[in-house]
A = this chain, B = another copy of it.
Amino acid sequence: MKSAANASYTLGELAEHIDARLIGDPNIRIEGLSTLTDAGPQELAFLANRAYIKYLDETRAGAVLVHPAHGEGCPGARLELDNPYLGYARLSRLFDPLYQRSSQGVHPAAVVSPEAHIGANVEIGANSVIDAGVEIADGCVIGSGCSIGADCIIGAGSRLHANVTLYHGVIVGERAILHAGCVIGGDGFGFAHDGKQWEKIAQLGGVTLGDDVEVGSCSSIDRGALGDTRIGNGVKIDSQVQIAHNVQIGDHSALAGCVGIAGSTKVGRHCLLGGGVGLSGHLTLADGVQVTGMSLVTNSIHEAGVYSSGTGSMSNSQWRKNAVRFKQLDDIAKRLNRLERNARDD
């Protein structure tokens, strides 16, 4: 595999792929995607954000992907589409070397149990270990150094990058992408206290990932204590995320990097959790809830909307003074009450 795709398409082919209106020469050859400022004559640029309109007239791009309203500003060929960003997304995979290669089959240095079921056109990298009872459907790619525990099921067209670990009995839907170093199905953090020390509670549930789920590198999704941890269809999970046992994430929600979700919390559909957000255990978040970065949520949220916690950042010298006052805040509020009462009494 070459890391550069060496892919090349005519502008006409690209227009057809995303059903865009082509203004210009359909035979222009496009070898890659780039930004308006960096693109050269063999590249397609896109305008998806009004802030970049100013770069439009000077772009050297071979063609530009734009909303029809901005088409006039293009100095050369263009593809017009109502959602240029979506068009860019759909074209991007044509230029990704990961998607432009044929299956390498099962590497001789992979260790595949004779009791595993491996579909057609499956690639398994060197030094991956596939346990008994595993089912890997057609067209999957398993990177090198992966460990797939007993009885896991991986849906068609899924891709596990290198050094991914699935514990036993994990179910992965179709077209999933699991990035390197992520761990699915480790034990939830469950212990009973006997008065002196912690007694482990075996985690007897599993993990189910829906279709089109993506999990970032070094993220972990723990198996359920009883019953499964469930990640819905189309859920996108970034790197360094921790999802505890029996959490449920509704379809098409997106979790940015470093999010942590405690046990048994249910996140609705189409939710957005910013980077570093923390959710306490046993909460329910309604569909469409958005939480801004590094906020901590300790109560259920029953209405869609944007939620936040924390303070803004400031210079440390300013912050120190204010942080001291935060510790006096209840006292400040009571003194204000008193002054108001006295003012009224006067």
**Which A residues are within 8 Å of any B CB, using their own CB?**
1-5, 32-35, 38, 83, 85-86, 88-90, 92-93, 95-99, 107, 109, 111, 125-127, 129, 131-133, 143-147, 149-152, 161-163, 165, 167-169, 177, 179-183, 186-187, 189-194, 196-204, 206, 212, 214, 216-220, 222, 226-227, 234, 236, 238-242, 244, 251-252, 254, 256-258, 260, 262, 275-276, 278, 280, 291-299, 305-330, 332-333, 335-336, 339-340, 342-343
Known: A149-B3, A161-B165, A314-B308. A239 touches B189 (CB 8 A): yes
Q: Which of B97, B202, B313, B322 contacts A168 (CB 8 A)?
A: B97
Tell whether, in the assembled complex, residue A88 and residue B129 are in contact, meaning their CB atoms are under 8 Å apart: no
Tell whether, in the assembled complex, residue A329 and residue B325 are in contact, meaning their CB atoms are under 8 Å apart: yes
Minimum C-beta distance from A124 to chain B (A):
12
Tell whether, in the assembled complex, residue B262 and residue A275 are in contact, meaning their CB atoms are under 8 Å apart: yes
Minimum C-beta distance from A118 to chain B (A):
16
Known: A1-B131, A89-B191, A242-B239. A234 touches B330 (CB 8 A): no
Of the A-B pairs whose beta carbons lie under 8 Å apart in the complex, a sample of 8, sorted by A's number, is A38-B227, A179-B187, A216-B220, A242-B258, A242-B275, A257-B260, A312-B327, A329-B329
Tell whether, in the assembled complex, residue B33 and residue A204 are in contact, meaning their CB atoms are under 8 Å apart: yes
Tell whether, in the assembled complex, residue B280 and residue A199 are in contact, meaning their CB atoms are under 8 Å apart: no
Known: A226-B33, A240-B220. A308 touches B316 (CB 8 A): yes
Minimum C-beta distance from A139 to chain B (A):
16
Tell whether, in the assembled complex, residue A276 and residue B305 are in contact, meaning their CB atoms are under 8 Å apart: no
- Greatest chain B CB density within 10 A among A146, A212, A275 is at A275
Tell whether, in the assembled complex, residue A330 and residue B336 are in contact, meaning their CB atoms are under 8 Å apart: no
Minimum C-beta distance from A269 to chain B (A):
10
Complexed CA–CA distance, A336 and B83 (Å): 49
